[in-house]
Amino acid sequence: MASLKELKGRINSVKSTQKITKAKQMVAAAKLRKAQAAAEAARPYAARLAEVMGSLASKITVSENSPKLLAGTGSDKIHLLVVANSDKGLAGAFNSNIVKAARVKAQELEAQGKTVLFYLIGRKGRAVIRREYPNQIAHMFDTTDVRDPGFNEAERIADELVAMYEAGKFDVAHLFYSKFRSALLQEPTDQQIIPVPAPKAAAITADAVTEYEPDEEEILAALLPRYLKTQLFGALLENAASEQGASMTAMDNATRNAGELIQKLTIQYNRSRQAAITTELVEIIAGAEAL
């Protein structure tokens, strides 16, 4: 049985941990409001851009002369999995769920005889993928020095992906990130980003006539890179909100668990202290009777 001094030390240690988890929970809650607002504000633009692209794509016939980002390479042999993680931990299963979804996809593709490569964003999750696929890491995008990854980072990632795509290093790219639903629910998402899937056209009334200047193919060629950057930017924002939601939930659970542990240790400490006092009283009474 632990001594009274050891129990007292454990109680103080858990109390210190509880203060840290409570503080991190409050910080995550404050950051969540800002991150959630940013993610929700970006969704209407992305949805509207998808509608415009859908309207344009429905008016042209995909051929060899179509933009490569839309037409593809004509093959689907090499798949690039873009895995977006965070740089910080203490967020529950946020990072591990994204990595798990990417690993499942990699196993499915390899079972079909495809070649799988990885493009890793953020530090968390790298260790697992590097351990299982040490020779299949195409690139690692570092966001350590970035406080809140935003459009500049999305633009750099998109430019690197397009350069790799045009160099023939892969045929299809999938993006893995966590879509924010609520503070308690973050949904790991797999989205094909290259070649860009033709979005569904927006509903247009029968009498509506739309004229484009320049023609549809030129506009579409200009919009495709922007669409890719928008999807990556949206994924980073969704990830940021999901990370803070997961962190807030994890720290709340840790705080409550610490409170329960403190209660159990306190009961154990009181019982040990009472037993020690009783033993001392028995010894004193026995000694007095012996006199």
- Per-residue pLDDT, 101: 92
* Residue-range definition of the domain harbouring residue 15: 4-21+251-290
- Per-residue pLDDT, 183: 82
Residue 223 near residue 97 (C-beta atoms within 8 A): no
- Per-residue pLDDT, 198: 65
**Residue 140 and residue 121: Cα distance in Å, rounded?**
6
If DSSP codes are grouped into helix, strand and coil, which group holds residue 140?
strand
**Residue 244 and residue 127: Cα distance in Å, rounded?**
22
**Residue 249 and residue 113: Cα distance in Å, rounded?**
40
Q: Which residues of the chain have pLDDT under 50?
A: 202-207
Could you tell me which residues are beta bridge partners of residue 179? 187
Residue 243 near residue 164 (C-beta atoms within 8 A): no
Question: How are beta strands 186-194 and 78-84 bridged, if at all?
Answer: unpaired
- Per-residue pLDDT, 213: 65
Same structural domain, 158 and 59: yes
For the stretch 193-233, pLDDT in tens is 888 876 555 444 444 556 666 666 777 778 888 888 888 99
**Residue 226 and residue 224: Cα distance in Å, rounded?**
5
Same structural domain, 198 and 261: no
- Per-residue pLDDT, 205: 43
How many domains are there within the chain?
2
Task: Answer whether residue 26 is part of any domain.
Answer: no
Same structural domain, 54 and 172: yes
